[in-house]
Structure 1
Amino acid sequence: MIEPDFVRVRLFDPNDELMSKGREAAVMTEEIRKVITVIPKLQDIVPGVAADTDLWDAGMDSMTSVQMMMLLEDHFGVELPERALTRETFASIRSLEAVLVELLNEKKAVSSD
């Protein structure tokens, strides 16, 4: 379980200066890495793995994936739809990134209408 004194990484802003410089993937990867590193089961795993490393093979379990989902939803201000609640979505930082980018783009398109 996440400790009560968990300090939130700054809220993600897809419009910030870093995003406008074309470094979306690197920024998103690092944002995800920061957020999920606070999960005790992933603290020693996430900092050193490549973005496409299979987190299930690295030791993640279903409870950890639920913690991850809750933290990422809170941090990025999105709700993962049922179609995204799959083992594949949580398999790697890269797969999480793909789903989150899609959701953030959808959210941005809706808010600009």
Structure 2
Amino acid sequence: MSSRPEKRPDAAIRAEMPASVWSNPAAPIILGIIVTIFLFFLIILLMGIMPFDAFKGDAKETKRVDAAVSMEEEQAMNRINTTRSLYPDEPPVQPDPILSKIDAPFQAEENKEEEQMDS
């Protein structure tokens, strides 16, 4: 007699679909293809272009770091030549008298060995 809606569970789903889908039944397939292409290009972008930019940025950063390190080394060498200390606020280091007394015999022995090797 009359068809029951319970036997057709997809009737409610079809009724809830927008009218634009009814005009072109291939719309979900086309939309899926477009989304797949977009994701493919997004993956290519993330795997290809972004790492390339990261490598270029790394090279620039390395140059800047190398320049900063060489500048600091030059300043440290100038500071050592002028103040005899790597740290300008510290006074020059004086030898420890106790350690000098302990080390004196060993130093004298080393000097003798060096003189023997030189002659």
The TM-score, its normalising length taken from structure 1, stands at 0.22
Larger relative contact order (Cα-Cα within 8 Å, sequence gap ≥ 6): 1
Larger Rg: 2
